[in-house]
Chains A and B, each alone.
Chain A
Amino acid sequence: MSSHGSLPRIAVIGCGAAAREFCLPVLRRFSDYRQRVVLVDISAEQAQSTARAFQIEHWCIDYRSLPLEVDAAMITTPHHWHAEQARHFLSQGLPVFVEKPLGMTEREASSMTELASAKGAVLMVNNYRRLFPAYQRVRQILSTGELGSCRRVDIWDGTRFAWASASGFYLRDARARGVLLDRGAHTVDILCWWLGGCPAVVSSRTDAMGGVEAVAKLELAHQQTVIHLAFSRLERLRNYYELQCERGTIRGRLFDFSRLQIERNGKRERIQAGPMRSYADWAWKLVTNFVQVVRGDERPIFEARDVAPSIGLLEQAYRQAGSFAMPWYDADPNVAALTRGDSAVSGADPGDRE
């Protein structure tokens, strides 16, 4: 991308980690970005400090009263604000880019995509894993039927949560939901994209105990395919996918964006599907695509309506979610004793007893 071109006027709503790590590093490659970006954050302190860090002139605290007329909006606020804020800009016919997940519910997602269609506005979402060459190759193999139909899918997706959350919203507020919406927004979307349709939820379990879940396991079904997904933001899982098809098996590491392996007729074939690139490079590529779409130089690589069905599946998984058996809590005699008040809280001082 040229660093000399003119940047469209863009409002960046939300000045947390997503804006700082994915949006602003791309926007600042344009020479005039300082005057053409408006930062918006409910916290004036956060907006101001981000403006200072990126040397951006305009900032405010309310996306409904911007100090500058804009050509597009990028929304990087906590999930539950996405729909309302996106609709505000879409209703003006402006292109909008939303951080994943697109919305909290299927209804929210469809309200955004329908409004975008009605207004003829582009709505994109940051599901950038669709750009990984290895994932694109998996989709190609499945859609061409090269290995026959898919019988079973297993995906493990988990790392320790390291998101540099500025507000703590993702952990403090049950509306944020947990790992299922966070990591599931990527993985479930990729799964639906690979299979060419949205599976049904067979079972769903999480470890939420009145707060936000950190571990979730789903069993899904799609036509002849049985699917098992495991998510965690407490521990690193094997971070691997395996798709067993009639005439072979596809395997790959979740974060190896370029390579995969196919096993057929007892032989293993390694495939280099694209160049090795870093994780952020892919998100930047999608943000760059959005900027070029706003400039009229490119078409969207994919749009939010392509991703929307996966939000419905995640909503269904939350509705059906049960709890795991966790004997390390439920069968622990110390936890039981404290819970029933059989402790020094209610008992006498041991010294008194003697």
Chain B
Amino acid sequence: MKRVLITGAAGFIGGWVTETFARAGIPLRAGIRRWNSAVRIARQPVEMVLCDVMQPSQLQGALEGCDAVVHCAVGSPQVIVEGTRHVLQACQAQGVQRVVHLSSVAVYGWATGSIDEAHPLRGDGNRYGEAKIEAERVCTELAGRGLPVVVLRPSVVYGPFSDVWTVRFARRLWSGRWGTFGAGGEGKCNLVYVTDVVQAIERALQVDGAVGAVFNINGGEVVTWNEYFTRFNEALGRDPLPRLKTWKIGLRARVLSPVRKTARFALHRFGKPILRLHSKSALAAGIMKATESSLKLTPTSDQLKRFRQDAEYRIDRARDVLGYEPRVGVTDGLEFCAAWLRHHGILY
């Protein structure tokens, strides 16, 4: 490889690809959408460029001198689908030799059982999953025109810098108001540690047999959600978790659902006035904080469904073709997370 362009390099997975490749001396260019998102990767002397995947002119400049691309950028469904199209079209125009597209096991929807790459794709009403299916179709379309694309479908990617699967759950566990869910938490968690995903990406960039194929990327140890919560809680050094009453949590999730939607809408539409009110009224600040805390500590109905979902994503193809082998077990992965959370002062 001459040089790899990483789109979404300031994000969770893109950031790990950037940091790990930079440490390994792999020539790279980190594509970011805004400068202020690049704090993490700026700790290393990496080349950074503005690369908004919705702006094809920026992509052309960012791709100059690159012969490979790791497409990690995500966003709204439109960004996922049209951004992927822009990236792939720019790659084709510039004769890029290899593109690794980061998809997701969300493309399988709520399917259960043992799931390999041949399993039918179904978004099941999940906007993210449906957008990822559409983006994969874009990959297939461009691959049909000769672009060497590899698609990876990671499962539940956790690790330092993960907001969704690490920080949020750590805060929930730290709050003392989280627990295990009995039968409602016995679904399979499909954790994959983030640098195992980086390993898969690096191999997908190199292995010739990978071109045109799709790979599930999962961890080596499949645990239940209850086990995840229990082991993460232990790694954080907290008191043992109580068993929660699932019906009570489910009811709370349903009651808070409209509050969550309203809060999201209000922040989106009236963000600045709300912030002003927050800074000028102690009462308003107190109400906002209590509401935010309540929403963050209550799982959504979709999350509760996920905690029950009995699905396992198989990685035989990644093992056979890419030579992928997960190296970070759940115990080590959670220890890394706990050390990172303590270091960053996130829990208090």
Contacts and interface: CB of A to CB of B under 8 A. Distances in A.
Interface in A229-256: 230, 232-238
A53 interface: no
A236 B341 CA distance: 12
A171 B26 contact: no
Contacts of B195: 332-335
Given A163-B36, A168-B35, A238 B345 contact: yes
Interface residues of A, number: 59
B209 A172 contact: no
A52 B275 CA distance: 28
B321 A351 contact: yes
Nearest to B320: A350
A344 B203 contact: yes
B165 interface: no
B170 to A, nearest CB: 11
Contact of B207 (A172, A329, A344): A344
B11 interface: no
B207 A345 contact: no
B329 to A, nearest CB: 10
Is the contact region of chain A dominated by helix, strand, or loop, or is it mixed? loop
Interface in B102-145: none
Which one of B23, B202, B203, B345 has the greatest number of beta carbons of chain A within 10 Å? B345
Contacts of B196: 334
Contacts of B1: 345
A215 B328 contact: no
Interface residues of B, number: 56
A277 interface: yes
A207 B344 CA distance: 10
A1 interface: no
B276 to A, nearest CB: 6
Interface stretch (B41-49, B54-62, B172-180, B226-234): B41-49
Interface in B276-293: 276, 279-282
Which one of A156, A233, A327, A347 has the greatest number of beta carbons of chain B within 10 Å? A327
B339 A329 contact: no
B343 A350 contact: no
A333 B327 contact: yes
A328 B337 CA distance: 7
A210 interface: yes
B209 A214 contact: no
A68 interface: no
Interface string A254-290: 0000010000000000000000111100000000000
A174 interface: yes
A181 to B, nearest CB: 14
Given A162-B36, A211-B45, A214-B40, A338 B20 contact: yes
A281 B207 CA distance: 57
B206 interface: yes
Given A232-B344, A349-B208, A211 B46 contact: yes
25 contacts: A162-B36, A167-B35, A168-B38, A171-B39, A207-B43, A212-B43, A234-B40, A236-B346, A327-B335, A332-B328, A333-B328, A334-B195, A334-B199, A338-B21, A338-B24, A338-B26, A343-B199, A344-B206, A344-B323, A345-B202, A347-B323, A350-B203, A350-B207, A350-B321, A351-B208
Interface of B: 1, 19-21, 23-26, 35-36, 38-46, 48, 50, 159-160, 195-196, 198-199, 202-203, 205-209, 275-276, 279-282, 320-323, 327-328, 335-337, 339-340, 343-346, 348
Given A172-B35, A327-B339, 10 more contacts: A158-B345, A163-B36, A211-B41, A332-B195, A332-B336, A334-B195, A338-B21, A338-B202, A349-B207, A353-B323
